[in-house]
Amino acid sequence: MKIDLVTIFPGILEGPFKESMIKRAIDQGLVEISLVDLRDYTHDRHHQVDDTPYGGGKGMILKPEPLFEAVEDLKAKTNEEHPWVILLTPQGERLNQQLAHDLSCKKHLILICGRYEGVDERVRTALVDQEISIGDYVLTGGELASAVLVDAVVRLLPGFLAEEASVNESFTEPLLEHPHYTRPPVYRGMEVPPVLMSGNHAEIARWRREQSVRRTYERRPDLLDTSILMPEDEIILNNIKKKES
Ligand code: 6SD
């Protein structure tokens, strides 16, 4: 996969891909990530990327010309038939695991990171294939949102993880994860649940499943509304509800 990130602040995005798992994916050749400085596509002395809004009002708007020229240049340099152009914006479709999965099937993503009050509307209508938001909070620009999107997508690429791990985790599964413990068995008086050290794998699996259902019910009941539970899980859930009343 190829991912281009178009930004006026490439420095913000230099850190996130230089460490840990995403770095490994790059080193393994699973993904190639390029930071594209929007100012390289200006032609004036001051490398101006923004301008005042028509009609008046506060703030500045990213000009259309550098964005069009940057994206067209990236498209001209790729072998891909249709690189998928994404604008990170609070007005976009909400990122979730399904969307991350869909994007992980694309060969070439071009992510446009907005800044200031936003981008000229003609960028949205004529250049962008999909507008995406990472959640209902306002950021100062699209850079951190695009880093989140890249992280969520790259970990789904074939060869990134042992196959099962990425598929079975929370948010593809409808349930939240059970608690995890490691050594020591007692820390500052806090004990590891004995069942986890019992060596009884069937008991352990049952305990974990019960914890998952309980956590989901307590913290994210919305996830239970839309998911079809296994019959065993329904029984666990009914027991939890019974104990409450
Ligand atoms: C002006 C931006 C670009 C400002 C954003 C995206 C999400 N989910 N929240 N905020 C955002 C993106 C804000 O440029």
CA distance 60 to 47: 15
The verdict on domain 168-244 having CATH code 1.10.1270.20 is yes
In this chain, the answer to whether the domains covering 2-162 and 168-244 adopt an identical fold is no
pLDDT band at 173 (very low <50, low <70, confident <90, very high): low
How many Å from the N-terminal Cα to the C-terminal Cα in the chain? 52
pLDDT digits (tens, 9 = 90+) for 118-169: 999 999 999 999 999 999 999 999 999 999 999 999 999 999 987 655 555 5
Q: Residue range 1-23: average pLDDT?
A: 97
Domain range annotation of the chain: 2-162, 168-244
CA distance 70 to 131: 18
Residue 204 or 165, more confident: 204
Res 226: pLDDT = 80
Residue 89, ligand 1, Cβ within 6 A: yes
> Measured in angstroms, how far is the CA atom of residue 89 from the centroid of ligand 1?
4
Residue 142, ligand 1, Cβ within 6 A: yes
Please say whether the beta carbons of 195 and 178 come within 8 A.
no
Residue 49, ligand 1, Cβ within 6 A: no
> Best substitution site from 88, 137, 143 to test ligand 1's pocket, by max atoms within 8 Å of Cβ?
88
Architecture of domain 2-162: 3-Layer(aba) Sandwich (3.40)
Residue 139, ligand 1, Cβ within 6 A: yes
Residue 118, ligand 1, Cβ within 6 A: yes
> Measured in angstroms, how far is the CA atom of residue 139 from the centroid of ligand 1?
5
| Helices and strands counted in the chain (H then E) | 10, 9
In ligand 1, the atom with minimum distance to the C-alpha of 89 is 12
